[in-house]
Amino acid sequence: MKNELNTLLQEELNKINTEENRNDRPYFDISFIRQYPGLYGLMCFLFVLTMGLLMYSDSFGKTEYIVCCAIFAVCNFFFFFHINPSYKVNDIDKGAWKNCYTGDWYMEVHVREAFIEKLFAGHVLTDAEKARLKLQYDKKGYLYFADIYRLRS
């Protein structure tokens, strides 16, 4: 019975993943520059200053110059790419690495009204579970995925 509930939850999460384009792939995104133009400009200025120092100094050679360019490129990779991790039932209440990036999404994403009605009308939940869920829903006015997942844990 828990597998049936998890399957229904994952189907709902798959709908959300599709609508929000959550597929665990990195996307090129320059919103960092739009959001923090001064910070990015300062970063580029300090990079040019560092490169000038490396070229001017007799103590540093090509290796240091290449390493500094590589570090700058790697840092820019993190600024210019954005990942939309997909929601999965197996990540609820787990210490998944994705939850470090997205936060505890299962306590932030509200369950849609249509799905709640489907659960109340279906036979996946027992009457006691439906009553407990209804009480939570009436009290808060919404439900999280964790509320439904924790019914049987």
pLDDT of residue 101: 60
What is the per-residue pLDDT across 130-143, written as a single tens digit (0 to 9) for each?
Answer: 999 999 999 999 99
pLDDT digits (tens, 9 = 90+) for 38-87: 998 999 999 999 899 888 888 888 888 899 899 988 888 878 888 888 88
- Nearest CA-CA partner of 75 in 36, 53, 47, 55: 47
Structural tokens at position 7: 């399957």
Predicted TM-score of the model (pTM): 0.68
Higher-scoring residue by pLDDT: 85, 13: 13
Looking at every residue in the chain, the average pLDDT score rounds to: 86
Pairing relation of β-strands 81-83 and 26-28?
antiparallel
Query: By C-alpha distance, which of 135, 133, 93 is closest to 116?
Result: 133
Mean pLDDT calculated for residue range 81-100: 75
